[in-house]
Structures are given as C-alpha cells and as structure tokens.
Structure 1
C-alpha cells in the first residue's frame, strides 16, 4: 500500500521501494519524523549530504476529501538546527497520493553545480538536468514547466533564495490556479532542497484516478457531517468571507498583532489592513476568494488584484500583513501585496524575512515605515547583494550581524505574528514545540492574558496539530471545537483503509509524532534549558494591555512529562 521514491542525488539514481509495515498508517508530519529519526544522523550538517529532504502527502490526500490535501516537507533545519516539518496546500499532495506515492526521500548531493528537475508520472520517475532553469523566479519557472509538460501538472519548486541556500527560503507549491502561491515557509527547507540540487518537482497525475475508500458510504457520510459543522461554524464563515485577515481588527486591539518590531503601539492607518476593508477593495478590483486545493469548502485564500485590476498575489495572509506590514510600521495595502509577491517569486518566508527587516530597522539602517526601502532590500535578496544575503538568513542572523540583543526568535526561528505576551498558550508552544516558533504547532487564544491553564492548552493543541499535520488537514478548516476532529479523523481513516482506529488512537498518533521529534532534537544536544522566549517578552510590557509573558519556566518545562 503505497511506495516510496528514493532519489540519490550523488549517484543520480531513482529507486522505488515498498512502504515498510510500520509506515502504513503514517503520513505527512508523522511519516517525516519517523523517516528522519531512522535515516538522518542528528549531528548531520543541515546543508550536507547526510541530511535528507522528505516529501510526504497526508493520509487522505488522494481521496480529494475537502481540505485534506496538505503536503509535508521534512528535514533537519538549517535555521533551527533541529528537526523540521513545514507544510503547504496546493495540488501536489493530492496528485502524489493518487500516484500511490507515500513519500519521496531526496538524499546526497550532486557532484556538479547544475540544477535538476524531478519528473514524476504514472509510469516512471525521472531525474533530468535543467541548468537552463537555474536562477529563475517561481512564477516564471512554473510557466516554463507548464509550457513544457502541460497546464495540469503540480509543481514543487524553489526560487533563487533556495538555490542560494538562504535559511529563510521556502518550498513553493502550485495552487489549483497553477500559481506557486502556497509555501512550506518555515525553517529554511528551501535551502535543503537547494543543497540537493533540485530546482523543481513536476507531478503529472493526469492518468491516475481518485483514491477510493474501502467504505465509501461511511467516508461520504463523515465528510457530509463535517461540512455541515463547518457551515455552522462562525470562525469558518469568517475565513470564507475575509480569509485570515478577518481577525486583524481583534488581534490588533489585543496587542497580539506585532508592531514596531514587537515594541507594540499604534500604527497609523492599521484599519487599511482590516479584513472587511481588504475584501471590499479586492472585490471592487475583480479579485476573489478561492480554495488553494480542489474541493476546499472554506475558500480562505485571497486572490488579490492590484489597482490596475490585474492579479498581483495570491494567498495574501494575516502573517504577511503583520510581518511585512504593522511590524515594520507599514499600512499601505498595495505595497504589502507587492512585497508578498516579491517573496513568493524569490521563495522566502514572509515571517522570517519580515522579522529580519525589522532588525535592520531596529539597527537604524533603514527607517520604520519606509516601504520603498523594504522593497529595495527584497530586491537585494534576489541579486545576492550582501544586505540581501544577510536578511535572507533570517532574523537571528540579521540581529547578530547588527549587534542587537533584543531578538524576537525561538530556537533561532522568527516568532510569528502572535505576540506571546498577548497569547500565552502560543508562547508556551514557541518555547517547547520541536518545531520552534511556529504558531501552527499550537495556537490557542482562550483566556489569552491569563497564565492559568495555558501549559495544558498548549500541550493539548500541540498534540491535535501533530495529528492534524499527519492526516494532512488544513487547520484553517478546523471548527471552533477542534477536538471534534479526532473523531472525524478516526472515521475517515477507518473508511479509507479498513482500520478500526479510535479517537484515542489518533491522539496517540500526535503524541508519537512529537516524541519522535523530541528524540531527534535531544540527539542534536537540545535540552529544556534551550526552551526559552526572549527576555524582553518577560520584562517589556506590551501595550495597550500592559502584559508580559509570565508563565513560570518550571511549569513550561513540565509539559514534556505530559507528552509522555
């Protein structure tokens, strides 16, 4: 059931392997963690030949079930120096699962400097030299590949930043419009793909049918019930209307949305970034909401048009509007959208690069609010200019370069646009998650200013998200009561594979994934003493509510006991 495609870049060899028995009910993040633990030495150099890049669709991707088509990328991160999984939407996971591919393992390093593409189809997988594609930005690259192999392909690619092995680089995945707008952005995994010499993976599943569950009626009924739940859910309704920017007004009032490099405070014109404002502007210009993958019922992705009425960028997200916007004291919507497109083209994480540019501003090299200078810095990333290369290495590196000691990172990774002083559960997640500062690893805004119960909330949400990322479900399609998804996941997996999993078994899937990730990190030398937030978040009061992150460290460290 399923096959593993192994790509040895040193020997330029492609082999197909049977999926081991204990991999059968693993997918996405869980499968990535298992393979990395078994095959990658913890002390391997992240950009060296011993590291491996794992590409794994979720357990249900090929069924085309709504919102179950996320794809995971895993490796030892060059940014955090620990295990890393980063996932994205788009069409790649659905196509790989329809081709009966459980995972792709890319290992070794090429003996030459030319770039390669990996061409995957129903009948064969080929590794092809493609030096003519080197240096291409993501949008042009995808257009060239579509002209060559057809419009219906799925493409996984890196931009110039990944080729240059910058640790803020991403892996792009094409959406159902064929645009490289979905990014596995965190942890610098684009640099790992670049170190392997792979410029793009092209997936042609045109002749492959949809995966049929063993119990189709049970599968359809469970999906129908889930869709009805989502239709009644207020959070899901907001995402459908406004996308992730729908929460900006509330988050800015909480102080959670960062401004002025996490110093906090009012940014003039912040209302320009409110979800309803963006929706009206975009609608007037002919833009729309869409789903990044076929079958999505949430359609939270903003296909944003510029003031000329033409497509400018897709997936204009809250994190980008915050990290390239309010955190830099910029509220010009069109300017931020242009920056987002530049980041997609270059293949860099808007969170990491946005935070890195904030360090440049903190150092006084460019002023806060100067949108033109920010765009110049982004251009320098593509040009390989020294400042561009510094910023392309992320926030921690940039702060070190400028001699700064107030750095909003955890495990070397930029803290996302949810300030842990105003959302304390996610602060715990930033501290202890094997992923480092990832909001998607465990975000919970309940009683967000209180320190009571936040460790348990973080733990519970981390387990749910580890299971979620293994199944390949989009967390933006999760109902307000997320724990309901354990039952949904169990029923769907049982109907798909003929198993008899319980809700507890699915929770155990999440726990096991985190255990494997922690085991890898401990082998690198990581210890509880490293699970810390920056000191300034414990001492600097965050306006407007004058809060600090004040959860006792010993309570945070105890979370490992709860994870078993």
Structure 2
C-alpha cells in the first residue's frame, strides 16, 4: 500500500510504502495510526506541525458495495485531541483508484492554494487567490471548469478559511455537489490553516485492487450485498425515508434533545418527520432515493426542492433535521433545508452548528423557533463578524462566552441527536469515545428500538459501548458505510478481510487490533493534555431531569472510566 506525503512548506512530494504495521489498515485505523506515529500530540492543531490525512477504507475500490467512505484525520482544534471524520461521496474511490492508501498533507503555505492529483497521482499546486472567500458550491463549479468533470473534490468554505473550530471538509457527491461533509472536529480549520482551499483528485486512476483470493472475496461481497438488500433497515426503511426515519422513533423513546436538551420530545416532530419529508419531496418532484456515494446500493440520500421546484440541498438527514430543527425549536422543513444548504456552502458541521445556535437561543440571544434569527447567525459565521466569531468556535466556546451553563458537549464536541438521559447507554459512548461526543462511534439507538437494551438503564452499557466502539472502528477502517453494518456478521467481515489481505486473521484478532488502535487514540489524547475529567459529561445531564421520563444520567464515573481503563 502506497502513501503519498506532500509537504506544503517545501512544495515536495514523496511516495512510500506504508510501514509494515500499517499495511493492512485503511480509513480511521490508518489515519489514527499515522497521526499517533507522526504528529506531536502537543502541537498546535492549527500550526504547521499538525498533519492532515486522507485515507479511503481498506476495501474501498474493491467489488464490495457501500465502501465509498473516506476518513480524514489529524489533531482537532475543537477537542484538542485526535480526530477522524468520515465522509462519503466520490473522493475515497478516486484516491483508491490512484493506488493510494493515504494522502498525508504536511506543513503549511502562505496564501490560498489548490492541490491537484492527476490520474497518475502526481501532485501539483495551483494558486487559489481568485477563489478566496467563495462558498463551496460556486467553488466547485469553478474547479470543474478548471480541471474537468472527472474529479472528486475535498474543499473548505469561509469557515475553514477563517479556521473556525466547527469548520468542515466538504466532499463532492456523484453529481458534483459539495454536499457531503466530514463535519466533526474542525478539520476544515486544519485544512484552512495549511493554506488549502481544495484538494482535487482525478477519478481516472487505473489502479486495480489486489486480492489474496479474488474469488473468495467476490463470493463474500455478493453475500453482503444480498444481506444489505434484504435487511429491513438498509433494504426498505432507508431507501423509503432515509435517516429521517429515526425522528419519530427517537421521539417515541423520549430521547430527542429539543430546545437545547431541555425536553426529550419535540412538540412539532411530526412536521419534520421522515414521513413529512417524503411527502414534501414527492409533492415537489424531489428524489427520495438519491445515491450520493460511489458503490451505494442503499440510496438513503434525497434531493430537497423548494416550493418552486428548485434544488435546495442533498441530503437532508436525521442529525441535521434534529440539530437545526428540534434542538432550536424549529419545525419548518423548508427553513431546515435552507440551513443545511447554507452550512454546506459555508463549510460547517451541521450537528455542532445547530447545537451551538441552540445554546445561544437558550442564553437569550434569540427565541427558540426563530428560523430567521438562526439564518442570521449562520451568515454572521460566514462573514466572521459579531457573535458569529464566537459561534464558529463551537458549543463550549459559545456557552462560556455567554455565561450559560447548559452546554451539551463532551471534549468540546456537541452531542448528537440522542439524549443520554433518554438513552442511558449514550452517556457511555459520549464520554469514553476518544473523538468526543459522537453519533456513530457506539450508538445504542438500534438496540433500544429492538428491545435489546433498556434505554433507561445503565446495566451493561459500559461493556456494550466498548464492543460497539470497537465494531465501528473496524467498519471505518475497512471503509464500509455504517448503514451496511447491520447486514454484516463477524464471520463475513473476517472472510472479506482474509480474502483481501490473507494474513490469517480471524475476527477475534481483528477486534483486538481495532481495540488497540482506539487505546492508542486515547494515549494520544492523554499526551495532548486531555484527562479523565475531559471524559465527563456536562453537569446538567446529572442534575436536570429530562422530560418525559424525568431521568438524569446515572452512569457513574467509575463505570465510565472502566470502558477503556487508561489513566
């Protein structure tokens, strides 16, 4: 496996074989292993010593479906620790077809630049001075004009240029729209600190994957594709309603954080539900089964149109509908879709941004439900003026600036759309995940809805969170879409891995490898100055009962510390 190292400071490139210990890694496993090996944990996240790493999954580019996932890693300016943010679209497959296991961007440059990788993975720098300040949609139009249609793009908007801690890296989908976001952790700010407006990757690479046993791999790949199609969730629910199907389900559990996590049921949830979204799309001629990522057979995406039938955004997803909707007390799908588009344009994590706006509303800066005020906040972030200068730095910075105590974040990263008082297991994942509060690392929603766990109990959640986090590390390392995970089995994953690399690993050995990488992430965080105190959830989760169940978080610090057991 080849890794391309590009040093911006010296404008030099080198292509090397991955270290032996990393040969069979990809995705998050590789970005974290490289970060731990190459990056000084004490470095400033926005300084030239931080490395920004782009890695497709180990199985990206193979015949396996739903493997178009890209991991972007480095030290986070939001959490102060290690970070991997995962994104779909076209860029992961583009890198894989160039024969690259990873692109490591080092150093920094004055000014603004575009890094271009041609069909032979040869890197060249191009001035982007004329692209400064552009929103991402206009930026990508100009990049397609300049470099041709057969490219994938990772780029930043104004938030990344301003090096704001909520800045995302936007990736183009199959239609060339920069609507896929590596949102969490502020890696768009890291990209901006390096002077990069965009990385343009040729999609015309000819490198083919190497298999130890191609026939065995293809057999296992066909089994997984069949299982994905036959699974009720990935084969029926997601194509019909997308991730917004969860809105009604999570409200039914009383775990839908609303009005800045002061209520567990949003009174207007029916207006923004998956069913309401589907009806709106059908009435306006929007696409309800859009495929935004390469190799996707689930089609969970959508294309939202306004009342005049004009395209607004793709894809309007559960987490965004929650964060800019229920969390802010807004029950208008048109307003939410417009904010989603604006976040993509500015280059902002919709989850963190919605929560940050909710904190500002809770602190008296605007009324809950005021979509006009929310949009004005977003424009202040884009322009880097007024309160926007604070909002762009995330929930903790905003809450402290406004002197407000209710800050739903762990390691400065906002929680996701599952209140840990309504689904107690989420307290274990939010606190112990090395990346900060996370919506993918170890989610309990599926088990809660299936009745496998009591959502209001902490019994066994520490062990289950550790198991779930390990599984997701494996999925992200292999490059498989999280929504296909429910159709996999440990035995099938091991067969796919073995047929690809042939190192003799069974699933037990793989889980040991994945768990060890997570522990290395935690050690990186400890060396960066994060302690067990940073794993704690905010006090209000322990002190303020959440209606309708009127529960507080019950997980003890001892139970939380036991999950990984690293001081």
Pairwise CA distance, 1:70: 0.6
Give the corresponding residue for 1:255: 254
Pairwise CA distance, 1:15: 2.1
Q: Deviations over 1:424-448 (max 9, x none)?
A: 2221011111011012111013321
Distance 1:235 1:450 in 2: 25
Give the corresponding residue for 2:448: none
Give the corresponding residue for 2:458: 451
Pairwise CA distance, 1:556: 1.4
Matched, 1:558 2:557: no
Give the corresponding residue for 1:465: 472
Pairwise CA distance, 1:8: 1.1
Q: Deviations over 1:241-278 (max 9, x none)?
A: 11110011111122221111000055443201111121
Matches within 5 A, 1:41-60: 41-60=40-59
Pairwise CA distance, 1:48: 0.6
Distance 2:404 2:387 in 1: 16
Give the corresponding residue for 1:92: 91
> Which secondary structure does the structure 1 equivalent of 2:340 belong to?
helix
Pairwise CA distance, 1:118: 3.2
Q: Is the 8 A contact 2:68 2:296 kept in 1?
A: no
Give the corresponding residue for 2:504: 500
Distance 2:456 2:7 in 1: 50
> Which secondary structure does the structure 2 equivalent of 1:247 belong to?
helix
Deviates more, 1:469-478 or 1:74-83: 469-478
Q: Is the 8 A contact 1:254 1:545 kept in 2?
A: no
Distance 1:134 1:119 in 2: 21
Deviates more, 1:31-40 or 1:258-267: 258-267
Pairwise CA distance, 1:212: 5.1
Q: Is the 8 A contact 1:5 1:17 kept in 2?
A: yes
Matched, 1:238 2:242: no
The alpha-carbon distance between structure 1 residues 509 and 287, as it changes in their structure 2 partners (threshold 3 A), is: farther
* Alignment equivalent of 2:144, drawn from 146, 150, 155: 146
The alpha-carbon distance between structure 1 residues 129 and 281, as it changes in their structure 2 partners (threshold 3 A), is: same
Distance 1:96 1:15 in 2: 16
Distance 1:530 1:384 in 2: 29
* Alignment equivalent of 1:547, drawn from 539, 547, 551: 551
Matches within 5 A, 1:178-257: 178-211=176-209, 213-236=211-234, 237-257=236-256
Q: Deviations over 1:331-375 (max 9, x none)?
A: 000100000000000000111111111111111111111001111
* Alignment equivalent of 1:526, drawn from 516, 519, 530: 530
Matched, 1:476 2:483: yes
Q: Deviations over 1:147-177 (max 9, x none)?
A: 1222221111111100100000000111111
Matches within 5 A, 1:11-410: 11-110=10-109, 112-122=110-120, 124-211=122-209, 213-236=211-234, 237-264=236-263, 267-288=266-287, 289-410=289-410
Q: Is the 8 A contact 1:260 1:329 kept in 2?
A: yes
Q: Provide TM-score, normalisation by structure 1.
A: 0.96
Distance 2:172 2:379 in 1: 23
The alpha-carbon distance between structure 1 residues 70 and 485, as it changes in their structure 2 partners (threshold 3 A), is: farther
Q: Provide TM-score, normalisation by structure 2.
A: 0.95
Distance 1:232 1:73 in 2: 31
Q: Deviations over 1:167-208 (max 9, x none)?
A: 000001111111111111000000001101111111113142
The alpha-carbon distance between structure 1 residues 403 and 123, as it changes in their structure 2 partners (threshold 3 A), is: closer
Q: Is the 8 A contact 1:91 1:175 kept in 2?
A: yes
Pairwise CA distance, 1:123: 5.4
Give the corresponding residue for 1:441: 441
Pairwise CA distance, 1:25: 0.4
The alpha-carbon distance between structure 1 residues 557 and 123, as it changes in their structure 2 partners (threshold 3 A), is: closer
* Aligned CA-pair RMSD: 1.6
Q: Is the 8 A contact 1:260 1:368 kept in 2?
A: yes
Q: Is the 8 A contact 2:114 2:200 kept in 1?
A: no
Q: Is the 8 A contact 2:251 2:266 kept in 1?
A: no
Q: Is the 8 A contact 1:64 1:294 kept in 2?
A: no
